[in-house]
Amino acid sequence: MNSPASQPLRSVRWSGDASGSLILVDQTLIPLETRELDLRTVEEVWEAIKMLRVRGAPAIGCAAAYGVVVGAQTHLNSPRDAFVARVAEVCDYLAESRPTAVNLFWALDRMRAVAGASSLETPQELLEELLDTARAIETEDREMCAAIGRHGAALLPDNIGILTHCNAGGLATAGDGTALAIMFEAAAQGKNIHVYADETRPLLQGARLTTWELMQRNVPVTLICDSMAGWAMKEGRVQAVITGADRIAANGDSANKIGTYSVALLAKAHGIPFYIAAPSSTFDLSLETGEDIPIEERNPEEITHGFGRQTAPTGVAVYNPAFDVVPASHIQGIVTEKGVISPVTTENVRALLGSNG
């Protein structure tokens, strides 16, 4: 389905009532095409998450929440207990799609808890309550993005070059993004900013998605290869680095797209502040440090046959971790919807997030 040109693009949305469907922008097609997918089975939702048609930690969480509604629709005529069991089964299934972004598990836990604790009697009523919860997750995410934008923009001086890695924009969330929300807000406040977008090998989220979003919103952006980040810093083009995160441990260690660790080391070497921007749904306070964050390994063909062309010898050994972890000690501040955690310590994380993180 082609996206209606008159409406602002929403990466994740629900169409209709509880018998409706999940609509996603297929991010694998951008920037060449903007097409929406209409997903009506939980298998289609699983595939969309796995194949990065929907990607970015908060957007994955929103899509999974709606995916539970899609998956539960098949059991409307079952007894109540069987319907609740189906919800748990769908949550377990979707949890297998990708391992690193904790927003996925956070959203699924919330949906599972609603079904488990509900006093409503019929599957139809339960399904509507699940849809209300998924809608709330989407709305809250949009509000969190706006608050992150406000808190983060206050950190940025005028006339600044900002480097970002991967895509932490509107496509990756239900709202304006996390890292990019800060840039959109700073630009809206009239600050003169220039963004350097790492292309983000191997799947090029920076080249395909971040530049596209910034250009659509008229924020000045320059695309660079990942290997150029250090030199751009050395040349004085970059005064701050801001990225999103997929999971943040209790001590502030932050997992994000592979390459973020290198960028953080480069920033440290050049005395440039490195910020993470993420909502509280991205924190996993059950993990003491980033050592315990599961890192997704993806198909070697993403490296050897990127975008349909073979670029390495047949049979070459490949290592393809999709994420890395930036130690808290390398992070100047974590910008959340509740404020900025700085310095990044276990005490400060817990003080800002309380027990809700």
Residues annotated as catalytic are 246
Is 339 exposed, middle or buried, given 0-12, 13-18 or 19+ CB atoms closer than 10 A?
middle
**Residues found in the chain:** 357
CB within 8 Å of 12: residues ≥ 6 apart: 22, 23, 24, 25, 54, 59, 62, 63, 66, 138, 174
Choices 214-222, 224-232, 241-249, 324-332 (CB under 6 A): range interacting with ligand MRU: 241-249
Contact criterion met (CB below 8 Å) for 311 and 253: no
DSSP letter for 321, please: B
Q: Nearest distance from residue 264's CB to ligand MRU, in Å?
A: 13
Q: Which span (16-24, 132-140, 240-248, 306-314) binds ligand MRU, by CB under 6 A?
A: 240-248
Count of residues near ligand MRU by CB under 6 A = 20
Instruction: Please state the closest distance from residue 244 (CB atom) to ligand MRU, in A.
Output: 3
Q: Measured in Å, how far apart are the chain's first and last C-alpha atoms?
A: 37
125, burial (CB in 10 Å: exposed 0-12, middle 13-18, buried 19+): middle
Is there a contact between 230 and 191 (Cβ–Cβ < 8 Å)?
A: no
Among 22, 42, 48, 57, binds ligand MRU (CB under 6 A): 57
Comparison of 86 and 247: residue with beta carbon closer to ligand MRU:
247
Select the residue interacting with ligand MRU from 75, 110, 257, 330 (CB under 6 A): 257
Which residue's Cβ has the minimum distance to ligand MRU? 244
244 vs 252 by CB, closer to ligand MRU: 244
Residues in contact with ligand MRU, shown as a per-residue x/- string from 104 to 143 under the rule CB under 6 A: ----------------------------------------
Angle value at C-alpha 106, between 7 and 287, nearest 5 degrees: 135
Among 168, 229, 242, 272, binds ligand MRU (CB under 6 A): 168
Q: Is 254 in the site for ligand MRU (CB under 6 A)?
A: no
HSE, CB side, 13 Å, CA atoms: give it for residue 78. 15
For ligand MRU, the closer of residues 90 and 180 by Cβ is 180
Nearer to ligand MRU, 233 or 326 (CB): 326
Exactly one of 25, 46, 56, 331 binds ligand MRU (CB under 6 A); which one? 56
The window from 13-21, 111-119, 169-177, 220-228 that contacts ligand MRU (CB under 6 A) reads: 169-177
* Pairing of β 12-15 and β 274-277: unpaired
CA diameter of the chain: 66
Tokens of 266: 């480069």
Site string for ligand MRU, 170-209 (x = CB under 6 A): --xx---xx--------------------------x----
Burial of 44 (0-12, 13-18, 19+ CB in 10 A): middle
Q: Which residues of this chain interact with ligand MRU, rule CB under 6 A?
A: 52, 55-58, 101, 166, 168, 172-173, 177-178, 205, 243-246, 256-257, 322
